Structure 1
Amino acid sequence: MTKEQEPLTSSELATLWVVYEKKTMMVRIIDFFLVHNQDPEARKIFQSFIKGESKFVKELSQIFKQEGAAVPVGFTENDVNHSAPKLYDDIFEVMYLRTMMKIASGIHALHISMSYRKDIMNLYQKFTKYAEAFCEETTQYLLDKGVLPKSPYINLPKHVEFAKTKDYRSGLKLTGHRRPLNAVEVAYLYQTVEANIAGMKLMTGFAQVAKAKDIRQYFFRGKELSKQITKTFSNILMESDINAPATSAGRVTNSTMSPFSDKLMMYNTSLLNSFALGSNAIGTTFSLRKDLPLKMMGTAKDILDFASDGGDLMIEHGLMEEPPQMEDRTQLSKGQNG
């Protein structure tokens, strides 16, 4: 038996399932954006993305079939309404794709480490390269349009310093003021604020168009949570005289007709929750000022509560597709005994 003929491990099956769900969702969303977007450069990016992403979906579907596994439902034409008006302006649609490609880059890199078969590892390497290419392309597009604030510049150090007292960890100086943020701390805080500004606008649109009342309320809660996180971390940046990222670009329209199913929007929100929790964990690890991990852990709890309630809501509405299940050995044994 060659390595490619070996059966999929549970982790390989799990990651392929997760990626299939995500990629079918992205095809539906970007296809809707392409129909309505008026900017030639953005349309070119979307056309290229859909071509590659659709090819990947077919490739994943073929793997499931070859392995004798059921192909997930994922997201289909039933999850998009092409006759609905635009929900976001042209600029935000590119901002959205950039955010999702940042998430995809991280997910695929993680999935490589969870794979054993060479063909599956090669697949994730290809996915990672693809996501990174579109992250770069969308970033350059937004920079060229002058709508993507860069993280702040810093005077480059001329020599290396070592922390001499525990005050560096506490962040407090003898004067009672906190020490300025270091470059690593600024980087993670800045990215958190940037991500939540985009998330706030996404949730605003979802809240306007969701069909079920409790799901609309959930998205409104998500918008308020993003605003709260943005305010908390922006204030920390401002304490060190650092301007928080801000842009007037990326607008939500007045449409109340949903282009997407509640299922698709809830799943998209779940993905963003997972990304936010992962980013908070990394930020906590690399923040050396003790007050920062405490704030990040408080934020993580709020996100976890929000994510948990979202999972319950998806189940209540029958919107959650179950991942492949491990065998219930206890139940099998009972059946055999019977």
Structure 2
Amino acid sequence: MPDKAKLSSSEIGVLWMTFQQKTMILRMLEYFIEHADDEQSKKIMVDCYEQVSPYEQKIKDLFTQEGAAVPVGFTEDDVHPGAPKLYDNGFDIMFLRLIKEISMGMHTLNLNMTYRQDVMQMYKELTAITQVTYEKCTTYLIQKGLLTRSPYTQIPKSVEFVQDVSYLSGFNPFKEKRPLNTVEAAHLYHTAESNVAGMTMILGFSQVANTKDTKRYFEEGVGISKQIIKTVSNILLESNIHVPQTAGGNVTSSASSPFSDKIMMYCVSLFCSFAIGGSSLGTAFSQRNDLVKDITKTMQDIFAYAHKGAKIMINHGWMEEPPQTMKTDQKN
């Protein structure tokens, strides 16, 4: 019996996805670290970079040991550290916080699809790194006044049970909608907060994109983010809940791109996948049927936008194909 079983198909798949994501994060951090003008934020990014960087080679080694082709991912050709500063006012940590939020979900899912001890251990280590970095980013942004906490509410003094099925309704224009419960408010607030940061990111991408189709695509993404923020904010305000506001994350006037269009397109694709997953959870935990309708419409818009982006990436030869399962010849 061999000391280690061969990598399973699911392990190859999750390692491939992790390699794409980690090489993207590392390349973009290289740029943000060079342009950091705050020592505290720079240390957060450097610590993250130094902890995550070894896993790029570890995944390469796993593929090599299996005799498999090593993924390309993102290289030094996808970042231009000497380009002028594109974002200001804490956006680097806002971006890293959102990336780490995505990573936490991905690592948990990936761990659930692994079987070999060394691969499981890798995802346990990555999860620990991600959680610590996320906490550092959140603490930093709150201390700097760049991130607002979700709204406070009355502390429940007793347990109550739903007494009527009208609790689930929200479409009837002749009946007043019940206020949001805290679970629904949490998911809606998170959606708005994520889109505020995402909109700033895509706005910067649209300003420096090198090809016309990617520029138009990013401009469309800004519009979609604005619409999502508007829709969610209106729902929150109906229940007298304040909407996410931030004093951070500005786009400068730079017209020189620090990143390749390829890596920017992948980054937006990753954010779209995260948004669809988050919206699915929001739908699952929403008990007012009008909320489910609004969230579902948002998911459809994001899915259509992501599909359009995939076509652009394919047309430019930027979409790296995941390893395929065994193909068989089909004869009619």
Q: Do they superpose with TM above 0.5?
A: yes
1:171, distance to aligned residue in structure 2 (A): 4.0
| Residue equivalent to 2:143 | 144
CA apart distance, 1:172: 7.2
Question: How far apart are the structure 2 equivalents of 1:174 and 1:294?
Answer: 15
1:173 deviates by 9.0
After superposition, where does 1:47-62 map in structure 2 within 5 Å?
Answer: 47-62=46-61
- Matches of 2:109 and 2:48, distance apart in 1: 22
Structure 2 unaligned blocks of 5 or more: none
Distance of 2:296 and 2:11 partners within structure 1: 31
Conserved? CA contact 1:167–1:173, under 8 Å: no
Give the 5 Å matches for 1:175-194.
176-194=175-193
Structure 2: distance between partners of 1:174 and 1:74: 51
Equivalent position amino acid for 1:10 in 2: S
Could you state the TM-score of these two structures normalised by the residue count of structure 2? 0.97
Aligned-residue RMSD, C-alpha: 1.5
The corresponding residue for 1:214 is 213
Q: Displacement of 1:90 after TM fit? A: 4.4
Structure 1 match to 2:266: 267
CA displacement, residues 114-148 of structure 1 (integer Å, 9 cap, x when unaligned): 11112111111111111111000000000110111
What is the CA-CA distance between 1:175 and the residue it aligns to?
6.9
Map 1:1-338 to 2 at 5 A: 1=1, 5-171=4-170, 176-330=175-329
Q: Deviations over 1:13-59 (max 9, x none)?
A: 00000000110111110110011111000111111111111111111
- One-letter amino acid matched to 2:11: E
SS at match of 1:306: helix
Looking at structure 1, the residues matched to 38 and 200 of structure 2 have their Cα atoms a distance apart, in angstroms, of 20
Q: Give, as a single letter, the amino acid of the residue that structure 1 aligns with 2:262.
A: K
CA distance in 1, matches of 2:205, 2:154: 41
Q: Which amino acid aligns with 1:193?
A: A
Instruction: Give the 3-state SS of the residue equivalent to 2:250 in structure 1.
Output: coil
2: CA distance, partners of 1:157 / 1:68: 58
> Contact 1:92–1:251 at 8 Å: present in 2 too?
yes
Deviations 1:208-262 (A, max 9, x none): 0110001000000011100000000000000000110011311011111100001
Q: 1:157 is aligned with what amino acid?
A: P
Give the whole-Å Cα distance in 2 for the aligned partners of 1:206 and 1:172.
Answer: 38
Q: Distance in 1 between matches of 2:173 and 2:163?
A: 14
Runs (4+) of structure 1 exceeding 3 A deviation are 171-175
1:103 shift after superposition = 0.2
Q: Is the 8 A contact 2:184 2:285 kept in 1?
A: yes
Preserved contact between residue 84 and residue 257 of structure 1 (Cα < 8 Å): yes
Alpha-carbon distance in 2 for matches of 1:178, 1:323? 46
Q: Provide the rounded CA distance (Å) in 1 between the counterparts of 2:195 and 2:316.
A: 26
**Identity in percent:** 46
